Structure 1
Amino acid sequence: MQTPKTPNRQLTEWLARTGLSNAELARRVKSAAQQAGHPQVLPDATAVRRWLSGNNPRRPVPGILADVISDALGYRVTSYELGLGDSPAEDRSLLYNRDWLVTVATVADLGRADVDRRRFLAAAPFAAVAATGPSRDWLLNVLDQEPEPGPRVRLEDVTAVKNMFGAFQKMDIFQGGGSGRLLLAQYMNIHVYPLLGRSQPDDVRRALCEAAAEQTYLLGWMAYDSGEHGTAQRYLIQSLRLAEESQNAPLGAHVLAGMADQATLLGHPDEGLRLAQSGRQGLRGTSAAALADLWALEARAHAALGDKTAATRAVAQSEAAAETIDHEREPEWALFIDGAYLHGEHAMTLRDTGDHAGAAEHARLSIDHARQQQRARRGALSQAALASAHLQRRDLEQAHAAGLRTIALAGQVKSSRALEAVADLGRRMEPFGKSRLVADFAERARVLTAAA
């Protein structure tokens, strides 16, 4: 005789908090599964009743359930909290854990899963609500910290890690996120993450956490640039926790800038706005470069939300902060926050507000800086912004010329963002109908995508 299953009271209680019916939960799980590339997941109300009665669904359903219920509640809930077994690596890495040893284990698991190219991680979705708790906890803890006087610790082992960061950051800037990421993850797994769990003096620990946070952020940024947004989000959240442990407020604010950029890009500008503002509040004026970046990303979010006045004001604030940047006094991770980057971001903001003249001006400035530095990815993004500005004033010939330059530059780097800029430009050309220029651009874009 079979032993009767124990009802899943945890899942029952969490479902009650959402106010969703069994049928509605099934519908949302099915929709989320389709978006995440799991067409075989087709639950109905009967399936939900079985889960509530104690039948544990197979993967990837527990993770999808956690995402759906988290979205309904507005904060992160794990599959473990839903009574669906141990929280897997992709679920744990979305959490900002106060326990330091849990954080160390989580980031190490994440790095190993990335190096092994485990399927569950590559398919992990972006969860907009997952950033709410981490950004809040980071801000509250940073505001309680008192910065220590004196120079930062420069110990030999930490210096070696920081030197590696510089090499990998250049690889990302000049070759795109698809170049070197797995090599960096392997380096972190072997040489850096194992050091975090060892007993160390406080000054060594803070310096090491700072170096690890920088590298973990870079892993997240590389994954973001490769279009692996679920992986990127998990690295960024763990980087934020490491940054807090290092007591480096500008670095934490920089991580929030990356999270804001990702949220806005993926269609959550309200979340992107909140993350950028949290970063500014925690920054406390200690890095002009980080401040300029956060204002630029706040402007992008305002533009996506349709608030032209706020977007224009934020661009002006970013430009004012940029005028005070002294890169000799800024950390190495801030070196990319320069004319090529900031003018490029402003170009896209003004494009989205309909200011095609302003967008074209900033795009050209960004393109000039990027050309001098041989930064193909940034050049591609800004050429696409310039082409879009031309389209807004109905100049298809100039748009086509800038579009071809976008394609040429995008082909020089391994970057899904550069490819998406090409695809976005193709969509913006569609209203011009069957023009030979539109057809020519579409064919060249097709060849680029096929080669990529």
Structure 2
Amino acid sequence: MSDPNEELAALVVQAGFSWAGLARRINDLGANEGLALRYDYTAVNRWVKRGEKPRSPVPMLLAQALSERLGRRVSPSDFGMPEEETLASRGLQYSDNPRTAVDTIIELGRADVRRRDIVKAPFVLAALGAPSRDWLLSTLDETSTERGPRQVGMRQVAGIREMFALFQDMDVMRGGGHARTALVEYMQSYVLPLLKREHEPAVQQALYEAAAEQSYLVGWMAYDDGEHGLAQRYLIQALRLAQAANSAALGAHVLAGMSDQANLLGYPREALMLARAGRRGVTDADSPACIADLHILEARALAALGESTAAAASVAKAEQVFGRVVHENEPAWAKFIDAPYVFGEAAHCFRDLGQTAEIERFANESAAGARRQGRARRGALSEAALSIAELGRANVEAAASRATRVVDLAASVNSSRAIETVRDLQRRLKPYGNLSEVRHFNARAGELLGLAA
């Protein structure tokens, strides 16, 4: 019999797991990988007391379970087990080599298209710190060089960027669930294979940047579609490719997406850290639109933390920076960091702070701009903020009328965020369920979205 695994025993105690609870969590993580594991407390007893080592990928799943609880990365080597990584765990790593990131995105894409269980992989809070740290350090350490004009004459890169613009438009107008599979298949068949070959430095860097843009976009689409673990993995790999492309602005943009996701999932402190890391790594000369976005996401995180004065100051800073944006000078990925977006996020900031007048000020601007552009998802989010503002003024009938408009907009896009917005309104309006306007709203939500009141 082997000696007891004292390192594992100590980590289990630090994480606050019972042996039965740890076994259940490993089974759940295995299910996300398509594995039918049936471990119970006796298995954990053997690993701890007898020093037995389970087969791959269980050591990695065990490390993931401990990482989640401890809020820091634990690897199998920390408790004397072999480190053979699963796709779910590789997707969370910020690799030393951008080629490794390319390989990981290819594997994620294959699993995504085939609807394998990586789609159900969990969002891992402990994985957020290292990528933002490593990106920021590499960005600050870059040797400053004069950048020549972007070589848009490179036919392949120009074509990839045209496809990015097309898919970004589809996401903004129709929702993240509308065309993600098509984008993944395009990346798999055309973009990523180009990065498996050697090119002259200028072409190589341009390809990395184009691939980073698309990897970010497919991650954002997965986020909007409610597949948060998958989205997190795409975004981390996109951040690594942005570093390989030497694009500080694009890397900061990816961190903005990661911040947005963390805040949505209820982790405002981590969201604040990510937004601030992005701001430290980018300058006004890179992209004022990106900086404005990072300020507004910092405001969202501060609002979620209840820091009203600091949140309002960040909104004001976002407005100030946004006033300097010249959209013709911004990269394509910044196209939709515009007034409907920035004012819409500001409205949600003041929604979280319960400041009705400020909600109305920003949400009205956002909703009007979204209507002019035909952007149903952004319109739904901003109309929902206005509905909440009406509730804040005790105008329940007007709130329900706005909420019904949100249903109609949400039904026209494929976006889990839009659906969740309707669910939120249902919860807020539940105490007034006997009013005819509220009954009409709930009936419409059931008819168009299949949501029970």
Task: Establish whether TM, by shorter chain, passes 0.5.
Answer: yes
1:13 aligns with 2:7: yes
CA distance in 2, matches of 1:47, 1:22: 17
CA distance in 2, matches of 1:158, 1:77: 39
Q: What is residue 127 of structure 1 aligned with on the other side?
A: 124
Q: What is residue 342 of structure 1 aligned with on the other side?
A: 342
Q: 1:35-434 to 2 correspondence within 5 Å?
A: 44-52=40-48, 53-56=51-54, 64-77=61-74, 83=81, 86-119=84-117, 121-145=118-142, 146-154=144-152, 155-285=154-284, 286-432=286-432, 434=434
Contact 1:76/1:130 (CA < 8 Å) preserved in 2?
Answer: yes
Q: Which runs of 5+ in 2 are unaligned?
A: none
CA distance in 1, matches of 2:9, 2:148: 51
Q: Would the alpha carbon gap of residues 111 and 437 (structure 1) be closer, same or farther in structure 2, given more than 3 Å must change?
A: same
CA distance in 2, matches of 1:406, 1:41: 42
AA at the equivalent of 1:124: A
Percent identity, aligned pairs only, is 46
TM-score (norm 1): 0.91
Query: Deviations for 1:91-120, whole angstroms, at most 9, x for unmatched residues?
Result: 10100011233222212111111112112x
Aligned length: 444
Q: Would the alpha carbon gap of residues 28 and 54 (structure 1) be closer, same or farther in structure 2, given more than 3 Å must change?
A: closer
User: What secondary structure is seen at the aligned counterpart in 1 of 2:169?
Assistant: helix
Q: CA deviation at 1:16?
A: 2.6
Q: Would the alpha carbon gap of residues 35 and 51 (structure 1) be closer, same or farther in structure 2, given more than 3 Å must change?
A: closer
CA distance in 2, matches of 1:283, 1:392: 38
Q: Would the alpha carbon gap of residues 427 and 332 (structure 1) be closer, same or farther in structure 2, given more than 3 Å must change?
A: same
CA distance in 2, matches of 1:438, 1:8: 62
Q: Would the alpha carbon gap of residues 329 and 442 (structure 1) be closer, same or farther in structure 2, given more than 3 Å must change?
A: same
User: What secondary structure is seen at the aligned counterpart in 2 of 1:113?
Assistant: helix
Q: Would the alpha carbon gap of residues 35 and 110 (structure 1) be closer, same or farther in structure 2, given more than 3 Å must change?
A: closer
User: What secondary structure is seen at the aligned counterpart in 1 of 2:151?
Assistant: coil
Query: Deviations for 1:226-284, whole angstroms, at most 9, x for unmatched residues?
Result: 10001100000000000000000000000000000000000111100000000000012
Contact 1:62/1:84 (CA < 8 Å) preserved in 2?
Answer: yes
Contact 1:78/1:91 (CA < 8 Å) preserved in 2?
Answer: no
CA distance in 1, matches of 2:443, 2:62: 41
Contact 1:23/1:45 (CA < 8 Å) preserved in 2?
Answer: no
CA distance in 1, matches of 2:141, 2:56: 43
Q: Would the alpha carbon gap of residues 23 and 330 (structure 1) be closer, same or farther in structure 2, given more than 3 Å must change?
A: closer
Q: Alignment RMSD, CA only? A: 2.6
Contact 2:76/2:82 (CA < 8 Å) preserved in 1?
Answer: yes
CA distance in 1, matches of 2:3, 2:113: 38
Contact 1:142/1:244 (CA < 8 Å) preserved in 2?
Answer: yes
Contact 2:401/2:441 (CA < 8 Å) preserved in 1?
Answer: no
Q: Which runs of 5+ in 1 are unaligned?
A: none
Q: Would the alpha carbon gap of residues 268 and 22 (structure 1) be closer, same or farther in structure 2, given more than 3 Å must change?
A: closer
Q: Would the alpha carbon gap of residues 123 and 153 (structure 1) be closer, same or farther in structure 2, given more than 3 Å must change?
A: same
CA distance in 1, matches of 2:442, 2:29: 26
CA distance in 2, matches of 1:448, 1:37: 32
CA distance in 2, matches of 1:169, 1:21: 41
Q: Would the alpha carbon gap of residues 307 and 245 (structure 1) be closer, same or farther in structure 2, given more than 3 Å must change?
A: same
Q: CA deviation at 1:451?
A: 8.5
Q: CA deviation at 1:20?
A: 3.0
The structure 1 segments of at least 4 consecutive aligned residues displaced by more than 4 Å after TM superposition are 6-9, 31-44, 61-64, 78-82
CA distance in 2, matches of 1:208, 1:402: 45
Q: Would the alpha carbon gap of residues 326 and 98 (structure 1) be closer, same or farther in structure 2, given more than 3 Å must change?
A: same
Q: CA deviation at 1:85?
A: 5.7
AA at the equivalent of 2:14: L
Q: CA deviation at 1:69?
A: 1.3
Q: CA deviation at 1:345?
A: 0.4
Q: Would the alpha carbon gap of residues 195 and 76 (structure 1) be closer, same or farther in structure 2, given more than 3 Å must change?
A: farther
Contact 2:339/2:369 (CA < 8 Å) preserved in 1?
Answer: yes
CA distance in 1, matches of 2:113, 2:94: 22
Query: Deviations for 1:141-168, whole angstroms, at most 9, x for unmatched residues?
Result: 0011125322123322111111110110
Contact 2:122/2:228 (CA < 8 Å) preserved in 1?
Answer: yes
CA distance in 1, matches of 2:409, 2:105: 34
Bigger shift: 193-202 or 123-132?
193-202
Bigger shift: 154-163 or 228-237?
154-163
Q: Would the alpha carbon gap of residues 29 and 297 (structure 1) be closer, same or farther in structure 2, given more than 3 Å must change?
A: farther
